[in-house]
Amino acid sequence: MPKWFVPLAAVTALMFAASPFLIANAPYEATMGLVQKIFYYHLPSAWVFLLSAIVCGIASARFLFGGSPRQDRLAYAAAELTVLFGAIVLVTGPLWARKAWGVWWQWDVRLTSSLMGWMVAWAYLLVRKYGGPGSDKLAAGLALFGMANVPFVYISVNYWRTIHPATSVVPTLPVDMGVALWFAVACFLLLFVLLLRLRVYLEEQRARLDTLYLSLDE
Amino acid sequence: MRTLVLLLLLSFSLSFATVLAQQPEQQPPKQTDEFVPISQLPAQDQLPAAPLLVTAYAFVWVVLFAYVVSVSRRLTRVQHEVERLESDIAKRA
């Protein structure tokens, strides 16, 4: 593992521990009240969910057209993180919606496209696990569709009729809310970098194991 | 007399049904385009929202912790196997 890993992990852990205090001190939103504070973890995890889908898509494209195993390992790691952060988004969102909208789920375009992106990431992992020989390239093709879904998820709230908050919420946030949000965004981005590196390292070790088994057979 | 009562009931039912049919459909909530802060949380909002908020944050922490533990365990297992194989290869050499 690189030298920066442990210090960065310590900083990230401290930041995560501090984040609830900043979030608790942020003002209540006028119409939604207390439950709106779910936003401070929901939005950063949503951004990381979309970011990891993009990383997975780009690495898969480079693997498909360049054939680099390193890119394949990166794509595999990012796909798992897409599932992880997607699960956080798809659980915290309905918990917020139950109070704010009166329903757990609404089949509107933002929620549905997010669910689709999450299912594509699951499909990637299932193809990799059970697809047999050649499944790496098949999964890489799936990842391209997962990446193509990302801009659709992001702009959907601005172009279609939906009750999900628009993207204009973030630039118009008051300072007290903005500080808590951007701190949480930094926490989630650092965590994403750390988990991605750790997960890639696991794939590197597995590749090393395969090489050792091959040399043992010879 | 009975006919008159029946007619009255029928006309009342029809007019009631017409009024119901003319009720505007319930509009879905409007889309939020900005968050407005307030200094105090309304009292009636405190209790129902708290379990949802706590569940959301607890879920995030638990899932992230479980994932870190899962990756660490997988990594430890693979590293032990790598070490075992390396020692086997060294013995053969």
Comparing A109-123, A202-216, B13-27, which segment has the lowest mean pLDDT?
Answer: B13-27
**Closest residue to B49, CB basis, from A34, A42, A91:** A34
pLDDT at A171 over 50: yes
One-letter amino acid of A57: G
Band (pLDDT 50/70/90 cuts) for residue B19 is very low
pLDDT at B29 over 80: no
CB contact under 8 A, B60 and A45: yes
Band (pLDDT 50/70/90 cuts) for residue B6 is low
> pLDDT of B32-90, one tens digit each?
888 888 777 666 555 578 899 999 999 999 999 999 999 999 999 999 999 999 888 88
Q: CA of B18 to nearest chain A CA: how many angstroms apart?
A: 29
Comparing A47-61, A118-132, A189-203, B46-60, which segment has the lowest mean pLDDT?
Answer: B46-60
pLDDT at A53 over 90: yes
Q: Coil, strand or helix: which one is B36?
A: coil
- Full 3-state SS string of chain A: CCCCHHHHHHHHHHHHHHHHHHHHHCCEECCCEHHHHHHHHHHHHHHHHHHHHHHHHHHHHHHHHHCCHHHHHHHHHHHHHHHHHHHHHHHHHHHHHHHHCCCCCCCCHHHHHHHHHHHHHHHHHHHHHHCCCCHHHHHHHHHHHHHHHHHHHHHHHHHCCCCCCCHHHCCCCCHHHHHHHHHHHHHHHHHHHHHHHHHHHHHHHHHHHHHHHHHHHC
- Averaged pLDDT of chain A: 94
Q: CA of B12 to nearest chain A CA: how many angstroms apart?
A: 35
The pLDDT value recorded for residue B11 is 58
Contacts of B41 in chain A (CB under 8 A): 28, 33-34
> pLDDT of A180-201, one tens digit each?
999 999 999 999 999 999 999 9
Chain A within 8 Å of B74 (Cβ-Cβ)? Answer: yes
Q: CA of A205 to nearest chain B CA: how many angstroms apart?
A: 7
Q: Look up the pTM and report it.
A: 0.84
Report the complex ipTM: 0.93
CB contact under 8 A, B41 and A28: yes
